[in-house]
Structure 1
């Protein structure tokens, strides 16, 4: 009896292990270009108000960009064709008229990593209501998945420089294609060439008591960026004129609360230009309250690439900046 009991326990253990292995290891790797998604929706719904609502939410223009670029590039497919490898897409929105009225997010249904937003309703009105209520959550889920996928790709070949660790005691997962262009006291500039321009990362610190007045927050942030640009980021030589990077004076930046690596702060998105010279582009700045080191830590990404789309380059910079760690080297 003792042997029989042991055998039964062993068999049950093997069965459970195999079942768990099947659930976690047999899903294919998800696919899809960065910031792309598949909308699985009936052609008739896609051509009507439901399709308009999907595009309104998921293809909305990204804030702080010099020209309209959508949050996601959307490929629509009728449900009857939603088979085979298309199911392995990383971000999927499934919208259908059904006997159920619901909206939720599923994880790793057909591949991994994967997020599937499901919107159902018995009528068009219920579908539209569910889209309105759940779209922001689905977008946040898709973007988090996209950020994670981008960061995993960085692991293939990382920049080994210790310049950020040496200067600020921080580390970022930066692809090896990026190189340090400037390192001065309390300022580091890292960049790489992209199509028709450059993608850039800068880092510096400010006193811990900076930006404590909410009423002047935007003004103070603009003043900080402009002073840093004037000191460290010169523009093209123009006889008789001073040129440097500043915050585009015609457009106030957008500000949102953020938390990265346990540090609370603000995310700032807007446009930069070169004073007295026709150059401009988007920027993304994180100002983080680093209480332990009695400072405000400032990390910024900006892109210069005239007359080209910049969404994916800015997204890569965002993914890099969100790998922030304090006090450790990430090799």
Structure 2
């Protein structure tokens, strides 16, 4: 008991006395990785399964499915264990509120009496924190009265919990994507010619450029990536738009513009594999996000795609922006996350000033589900 109490006091101090964020060192660890702090006796619990089914849920819209986030479970035995935990970018600390484990004692020592009472009364169970110990850090505390109650609440709040981390990850991916620079002259050209723009990564090249359609490509032998943008003016009704319409429209554009090396080959949607469409809002535009797998008609090639169909109500203009990849040797999840950050730099509103681009922060705009 004395040992546990000593740990509890030591663990509590960084939360009570944290220095200014500017002086904190950067957190470590890979993007898309979460360190889950849970006592090892709970690794066969309902809560363990719930975390796997939410944060670790498999993305099936890729040729080789990957988890949404890579979960690494760990317990705590020593002070050094906790010092290592504190350094990570993404940390989830999980225990029932009266759990008699080191993790449970840690949580009770950190949380205020008011927060603990809100957990016991069932009012709240999830508490996300930013930059608690290190800079660019996301920490989530999860607690309830019982394992079954906690698991149920995690499952029911999946979208909100995952979104809390996804928004942080998108900001990180934006920094990573443009770490080596972008092409402001291309962004300005797109704005001047078409009235829309986005930040273009440093090594994408313009390909097709025709009426209502532009494509860009970043070609590497083992990692071929391309983006295309299509738009249509004078669209005054969007009631007809659904997943079926989006994919039919996509296939029509792909057959015309995204062709293979053989005369009869072209990219098309692989309807044999899962396709997922959800509604969201990006930079105040009503948006359909569609993910799936493309295949090459007439050739043995395939890869993931992510499509954003966005409606600009002020301009009565409908946009389609799609990213696709062919990289049979590489995992593809993180590249899709990169494009999710890139699409949030897309702008088409009349108040936008290209002279400030790319200094604006796309994450000051409303991004909601």
Q: Same fold (TM over 0.5)?
A: yes
Task: Tell me which residue corresponds to 1:234.
Answer: 259
Of 165-174 and 302-311, the range deviating more from structure 2: 165-174
Query: What is the TM-score with the length of structure 2 in the denominator?
Result: 0.76
Of 205-214 and 142-151, the range deviating more from structure 2: 205-214
- Counterpart among 154, 161, 168 of residue 145 in structure 1: 168
Shift of 1:194: 5.2
Task: Tell me which residue corresponds to 2:209.
Answer: 183
- 1:191–1:200 CA contact under 8 A, matched in 2: yes
- Counterpart among 110, 130, 137 of residue 107 in structure 1: 130
- 1:63–1:254 CA contact under 8 A, matched in 2: no
How do 1:118-133 residues align onto structure 2 when only pairs under 5 Å count?
118-133=141-156
Shift of 1:95: 0.4
Change (3 A) 1:113 1:194: farther
Q: Which runs of 4+ in 1 moved over 4 A?
A: none
Change (3 A) 1:313 1:210: farther
Q: 2 CA distance for matches of 1:39 and 1:168?
A: 46
Segments of 5+ residues of structure 1 without an aligned counterpart are: 1-20
Q: How many residues align?
A: 308
**SS where residue 256 of structure 1 aligns?**
strand
* Alignment deviations for residues 110-156 of structure 1 (CA, whole Å, 9 cap, x no partner): 12322212112343223323423444322111111000111123443
- 2:21–2:131 CA contact under 8 A, matched in 1: no
- 1:301–1:318 CA contact under 8 A, matched in 2: no
Comparing both structures, which one devotes a greater share of its residues to strand?
A: 1
Segments of 5+ residues of structure 2 without an aligned counterpart are: 1-17, 99-115, 120-124, 359-369
* Alignment deviations for residues 161-219 of structure 1 (CA, whole Å, 9 cap, x no partner): 234323432222232132223323322212224572212211110244387344x7233
Task: Tell me which residue corresponds to 1:69.
Answer: 66
RMSD between superposed Cα atoms in Å: 2.5
**SS where residue 228 of structure 2 aligns?**
strand
Q: Are 1:223 and 2:248 an aligned pair?
A: yes
**SS where residue 292 of structure 1 aligns?**
coil
**SS where residue 277 of structure 1 aligns?**
coil
Q: Are 1:311 and 2:337 an aligned pair?
A: no
Of 219-228 and 201-210, the range deviating more from structure 2: 201-210
Q: 2 CA distance for matches of 1:138 and 1:89?
A: 18
